[in-house]
Structure 1
Amino acid sequence: MSADSSPGPAVTPDTKGFLRHAPVQERGRRRVQQLLDAAAQVIAESGVDNATTNAVAARAETSVGVLYKFFPNKQAIVEALALRYIEEIEQLLSRQEQAGIADWPIAHAVTWLVHAIMDFHREHPAYQHVYRAVRGSSGEQAILLLDPAKGVIDHLLALRASAVAAERREWHAITAVEAAHALAIQACALPPEGAERMMEEATILLTRYLTPDYAPDQSPAS
């Protein structure tokens, strides 16, 4: 599996919430991103449980003391990585909203969503490990990290069918995101033919699930 070495977004006020010391100079901000890049590489190779702060510091070519200057522990690194990924997914979905996805036939919109999530997992091999770790956390802050992407999907569903009750729509968004992520993780472990079939089945599943409320006049995928 290839390492995730793509540069992440600059430190935002939310990201700073995971830092022991928020850098004010560009050099410090670059160091934080280098540490997160290194953490993504280590986690992609060995998973969250087996990743250590010593390994992350070594991969970033710095001392563990420098790492602890910014991050109090491994959990803070994992949560900061989760936030980075969620922000990237939010940006991806927001760009697609501008492209008019809310007006697409439901099957086309779901197909795009399933493939986009699958591609994201492939391009960021640490993501599935980070997602599982944060998803399984009992910490309120960690759980809240997963809400933004669901919020974007909720918004897109509201654009399609504003008459659907907010609570019902929220559960639809939660279910769609959780199902898409879970199936994408499974697809990543399959050979190419199996992964493609899994994405097809995920598209059918979510299209049939969402069609009654968000495209009642369209026939669901068969």
Structure 2
Amino acid sequence: MPVQARARKTVEVLLAAARELLIEGGPEALTTSGLAARTGLHVRNVYRYFPNRNAVFAALAEQFNQRLETELSALSGLLDPTADWRAEVQKAIGVLVMVGAHEPAIRQIRAALQTSPELQAMEVASDKRIATLIAQALHVRGAPASLETLEVRAFVLVSALGAVLDRMLLCDGDQQRLMLEEIESMAETYLAKSIARGPSTLG
């Protein structure tokens, strides 16, 4: 994101237009020339901030990932071994859903992330950061495994949840509610295997 206020405003205008194009026509509809036409900017000004459409996808994904990771990091109960871990898992999944609901083009952005190795790497990096937070939460609860092993387990869970949440976005309200319940159950069942049993660790 540029430092100067005027440049930041221009970037926000371009990203807002990018969301509109994605919602209207999917990833294929987002082009630098399309952004120029939608915003009234000259195409060379678009290139000044985004040299290609992958750069636009990356900026949209980065904004979403930053909001998501900030919200998850604020869940202090995750790292509190006395807190009910099942309740904290439900809160974390609620954050995933809430942040996604506030990004109108989330489905199209996540689809775009699969279009190039560079964008896929961005998604993996974000998933790993979230997995590290989950692994630390398991570790403070006395999970009988190394932190490295817990990070791998958490990464598998985060990746699986992301895939299922993508499918959930394609469903209607009632179906989404049922899928959300299944997602919570899946996460709890998987994490329960990593958490040392006993009243001092279950919270």
Q: Deviations over 1:58-100 (max 9, x none)?
A: 3333232211121111011111111111111111111113xx2
* Aligned match of 2:61: 82
Q: Deviations over 1:103-123 (max 9, x none)?
A: 332321221222221222222
One of 156, 172, 179 as aligned partner of 1:191: 172
One of 121, 128, 145 as aligned partner of 1:150: 128
Q: Could you tell me how far apart the structure 2 residues matched to 1:205 and 1:96 are?
A: 20
* Aligned match of 1:160: 138
Amino acid aligned to 1:102? L
Alignment of 1:92-131 (within 5 A): 92-97=71-76, 100-103=77-80, 104-131=83-110
Amino acid aligned to 1:210? L
CA contact (8 A) 1:48 1:130 kept: yes
Which shows bigger deviation, 179-188 or 141-150? 141-150
Q: CA RMSD in A?
A: 2.2
* Aligned match of 2:20: 41
Correspondence 1:31 to 2:10: yes
Structure 2, unmatched stretches of 5+, are: none
Structure ranking higher in helix proportion: 2
Regions of 4+ moved over 4 Å: none
CA contact (8 A) 1:158 1:164 kept: no
SS of the equivalent of 2:193 reads: helix
CA contact (8 A) 2:139 2:150 kept: no
Q: TM-score, normalised by structure 1?
A: 0.77
Q: Could you tell me how far apart the structure 1 residues matched to 2:67 and 2:87 are?
A: 22
* Aligned match of 1:71: 50
In structure 2, the CA distance between the partners of 1:215 and 1:119, relative to structure 1 (3 Å rule), is: farther
Amino acid aligned to 1:151? R
Q: Could you tell me how far apart the structure 2 residues matched to 1:130 and 1:169 are?
A: 29
Amino acid aligned to 1:158? Q
* Aligned match of 1:201: 182
Which shows bigger deviation, 169-178 or 142-151? 142-151
* Aligned match of 2:70: 91
In structure 2, the CA distance between the partners of 1:86 and 1:38, relative to structure 1 (3 Å rule), is: same
Structure 1, unmatched stretches of 5+, are: 1-10, 12-22
